[in-house]
Amino acid sequence: MKKRKSLNFGGLIISKLKALTITFVLIVFIGGQGWGQTTIQSGSTFNASNIQTGYTVTINAGGTLNMDVDRSFTSVTTVNAGTSTITGSGILTISGENGVGIAPGNTLVINSTCNSTILRTTTSGNPCTISGTGTFNATGNIVINKAQGNNTGTMIIGPNVTVGCTQVQIGTGNNGSWNITVNGKLIIRGGIGFLEQADKTIGKTLNSGSTVEYDGYIDQTVYPTTYNNLILSGSGTKTISGVTTVNGTLSMEGTAIASASPAYGTNAKLQYNTATARTAGVEWVTPFIAAGGIVIAGTGAITLNEDKILYNALAVNDGATFNIPAAYSIKATSIANSGTVNVFSTSASVTGQLVAAGSSGEGTYNVQRWIPDELENSDDWHIISCPVTGGSSMQAWADQQQVNTGDGDYDLAPYAEQVGTNPWGDWDPFISQDGTDEFSRGKGYAMRRVVSPAYSYVTFTGTGIYTGTFGVAITRGANGWNALGNPYTSVISINSFLTTNAPTGASQLAESPNNVVYIYDPTTGNYTGTANGNIALGQGFIVKAKEDGGNITFNPAMQNTNAATFKNAEIPMAT
């Protein structure tokens, strides 16, 4: 008996004897599997769970690969013009060096998550498109291949899809052109975004609605071109040079730093969207004139780095924090605050300032006013004014700010133009510890804190700030002395205040020598009057009303960001 031998052809076992004639059978797979590969024909849907790990997958136009499970293949290639689809909730991983290849005229729709080595056009001709609503991450490059000769290789990233890569590079071919068109989002993680050659460049079309993100955790070079939306994220320095323009949004994210500011289109905006606290950099130019303004987003606090002028809106989103240090100021057309704005003060003459023509939102404002503690005794009185709206009661504020107490009252009181038979008036009534009184807009209050308080400043917390023009009533039932206060989160010009409220016509200030403002100086225990200089943020002061009293006007024209010291002393108070 002859020994039997066997031949194994891809799982088909054929036995033979020595003299046996072998007939080879050609097996054709239509929309199925064979020899380490799967071909999905037009009109067919294949589940990834039915394809072995490590196979190569070909998707004809009209075919669909359904990622019903996570699966790893060697490569995926589309063929023929039309639409090939990858969908499902499973994650597709491509491990082979050929990655994912898209045929000319074919649109690969990604509605799932795909992680691949590379993304490539297979050859030249009609554009190769990747679209859908999913995410494609290439650990390597996007490679634009084309045939030899004067022809074109083009990769199109459709709207809504996100495609990440190390860089975009020129592949095969000599003459002709290599192009990429972005309608969705392109993420670049390599140091150089576009790998070109001396005589071969990549045409770049970044359409309206598109976003390019430089997301490397390394230093990166931003290609000089015109972007719709540009995101600088990850870490390291993102070098901006040449003519780089942003027409949509420049978003600073992660801990990335811009080496320079791009040019901003007419409707552009600058956004900070990070979970890491940072100080604004060179990207925030001043004046910032683009219509989109500045947006503070994310949870990382953003701190102003210098005085800023903003011709449009400043928006602080919900959960975001914007800090104005004591040395700096910002002027904006308006502020929309749904987050937190902090204005800091470190001395009598160094306080942050915010000037806005309008405000909206119900976020939180914390406005500090440094209060000199030079006497450190019971005579250390100050006249203050509250610059926020929507704050707590005066009683709660007094508790928080360590205002002195006695006989059931706080050492905190408005000014009464006449008290009983006293024609000179007095600070009255002192605020009861049992009440729920509120600060009045534009009014001044005498305040004395405890000896040596824990902090050298008080903080006014509210949900809004005062903007615009408004009036404050003053009276003259006796000698006409009234306590007012700077209502704004910036200094106001004394000259502008007096000019607006000159003792003529409908204005209500008394005539010379009392058409000045008087400020209390605790170092001398006297009021001093002046017609020049500035009234500091949070500063209260005294004016004298003309006969019959009336209304004092505050308006934005009085505001400025000049230096002002809390409590000035210039000339003796006239009586």
Q: If DSSP states are collapsed to H, E and C, what string results for 294-331?
A: EEEECCCCEECCCCEEEEEEEEECCCCEEEECCCCEEE
Q: How sure is the predictor about 150, in pLDDT bands with cuts at 50, 70 and 90?
A: low
Is residue 498 within 8 Å of 543, Cβ to Cβ? no
Instruction: Report whether 431 contacts 500 (CB < 8 A).
Output: no
Give the dihedral sign, CA 407/409/415/419: negative
Categorize the per-residue pLDDT at 567 as very low, low, confident or very high, splitting at 50, 70 and 90: low
CA atoms in the 13 A half-sphere facing the CB of 531:
13
Write out the H or E segment, with its range, that includes residue 368. Answer: strand 364-370
What are phi and psi for residue 394, nearest 5 degrees?
A: -60, -35
Quick one: what percent of the chain has pLDDT higher than 90?
A: 71
Task: State residue 396 phi and psi, 5-degree precision.
Answer: -65, -40
Torsion of CA 175, 181, 187, 192, to 10 degrees: 30
Could you report the per-residue pLDDT of 387-422, keeping only the tens digit for each?
Answer: 999 999 999 999 999 999 999 999 999 999 877 677
Pairing verdict, β 245-246 and 226-227: parallel
**Average of per-residue pLDDT across 226-254:** 97
In whole angstroms, what is the distance from residue 471 CA to residue 545 CA? 14
The predicted-structure confidence for 69-92, as pLDDT tens digits, reads as follows 999 999 999 999 999 999 999 999
Tens digits of per-residue pLDDT, 433-483? 998 999 999 999 999 988 778 778 999 999 999 999 999 999 888 888 999
- The two structure tokens encoding residue 171: 């592949």
Rounded CA-CA distance 501/389 in Å is 24
Find, among 308, 341, 309, 345, the residue nearest to 325 by Cα: 345
Q: What is the pLDDT of residue 269?
A: 98
Bridge pairing between strands 176-182 and 113-116: unpaired
Output the pLDDT for position 197: 83
pLDDT exceeds cutoff 60 at 15: no
Q: Which two tokens stand for residue 411?
A: 């050492």
Element (DSSP H or E) covering residue 497 = helix 494-500
Q: Helix H segments across 386-433?
A: 394-400
Other CB atoms within a 10 A radius of the CB of residue 279 amount to 13
Answer whether residue 31 shows pLDDT above 60: no
Neighbouring residues of 160: CB distance < 8 A, sequence distance ≥ 6: 131, 132, 133, 184
Q: Mean pLDDT throughout 337-363? A: 95
Q: What is the pTM of this model?
A: 0.88
Can you read off the two tokens belonging to residue 269?
A: 């905006």
Three-class secondary structure of residue 563 per DSSP: coil
Cis peptide bond upstream of 287, omega within 30: yes
What's the CA gap between 286 and 306, in Å, rounded?
9
Separation between Cα atoms, residue 405 and residue 378, nearest integer Å: 11
Residue in the structure block whose two tokens are 């006249």:
383
Separation CA 229–CA 251 (nearest Å): 8
User: CB 26: neighbour CB atoms within 10 A?
Assistant: 4
Is residue 363 predicted with pLDDT exceeding 80?
yes
Which has the closest alpha carbon to 364: 330, 321, 302, 304?
Answer: 321
**CB neighbour class for 542 (10 Å; exposed up to 12, middle 13-18, buried from 19):** buried
HSE-up of residue 109 (Cα within 13 Å, Cβ side): 17
Tell me the C-alpha distance between 3 and 14, whole Å.
14
pLDDT at 572 over 50: no
What is residue 378's predicted lDDT score, i.e. its pLDDT? 55
The whole-angstrom separation of Cα 165 and Cα 172 is 18
The stretches of 403-478 forming alpha helices (DSSP H) are: none
295-299, 331-335, 516-520, 567-571, range with the lowest pLDDT: 567-571
Q: What is the pLDDT of residues 190-231, one digit of tens each?
A: 999 999 887 888 999 999 999 999 999 999 999 999 999 999
Q: Are 264 and 287 in contact (CB under 8 A)?
A: no
Residue 528 has a pLDDT of 84
For 563, residues 6+ apart whose C-beta sits below 8 A from its C-beta are: 349, 491, 534
Q: How far apart are CA 362 and CA 463, in angstroms?
A: 5
pLDDT tens for each residue of 93-148: 999 999 999 999 999 999 999 999 999 998 877 899 999 999 999 999 999 998 77
pLDDT score of 526: 79
Percentage, residues of the chain above pLDDT 70: 88
Which pLDDT score, from 0 to 100, does residue 168 have?
96
Which two three-digit tokens encode residue 24?
């080879």
What is the model's pLDDT at position 568? 39
